[in-house]
Homo-oligomer: A and B are copies of this chain.
């Protein structure tokens, strides 16, 4: 389907835009307690928590996987979600470490509150998914009862992640753009607003695919 291809394309483009943002407009990448360390935060989050999580969610719907065994598909779904969690955690550690190095307080913003809750719920979702749907303990009847909840909570977390990204992008643009300010809409402002739109449209397509 063209939809699947556009999802892959948009997710990929979001990652590229984030890289161009931090490498071209910002200070690049590094693990030095400075801005280059902060920059790992958006890069790892958009790559892992948005793109790879989005892939994991639609992977059962990719036609070229329909000949694969159920166990293989589950392992890919679980594996991608595990990779996404690890990248998200490193991305969050980067911003905590940056804050500590710069003596900026932790956990003051709505962005950080919702973001941290999303990471914790995501870890719980991964663990529960693993125990219930991959390990051979849960009876089929229990699996069937829990599946709609698994899908609802998975999509809820994914939607919350998209909202958290939009808040984070907004904060960073306000903090980073002075002279010309964000208000004066310099090229970086237009570029990163566009990144925000890309992430939102990626989320939209993932939702559409999965609710068909």
Query: CA A173 – CA B159 in complex, angstroms?
Result: 23
A6 within 8 A of B: no
Q: Cβ of B152 and Cβ of A183 under 8 Å apart?
A: no
Query: CA A30 – CA B199 in complex, angstroms?
Result: 36
**Chain B residue nearest to A196 in the complex (CB):** B110
Chain A: residues with Cβ within 8 Å of the partner, total of: 36
Q: Which of B113, B169, B175, B196 meets A193, CB within 8 Å?
A: B113
Q: Copies per complex?
A: 2
Q: Please, which residues of chain B bring their CB within 8 A of the CB of A211?
A: 152
Q: Cβ of A204 and Cβ of B163 under 8 Å apart?
A: no
Q: Cβ of B174 and Cβ of A105 under 8 Å apart?
A: no
A-B residue pairs in contact (CB < 8 Å), sample of 11: A104-B183, A109-B170, A110-B170, A110-B192, A113-B196, A114-B196, A152-B208, A156-B204, A163-B166, A167-B170, A174-B174
List residues of A whose CB falls within 8 A of some B CB: 104-105, 108-111, 113-114, 152, 156, 159-160, 162-163, 166-167, 169-171, 173-175, 182-185, 189, 192-193, 196-197, 200, 204, 207-208, 211
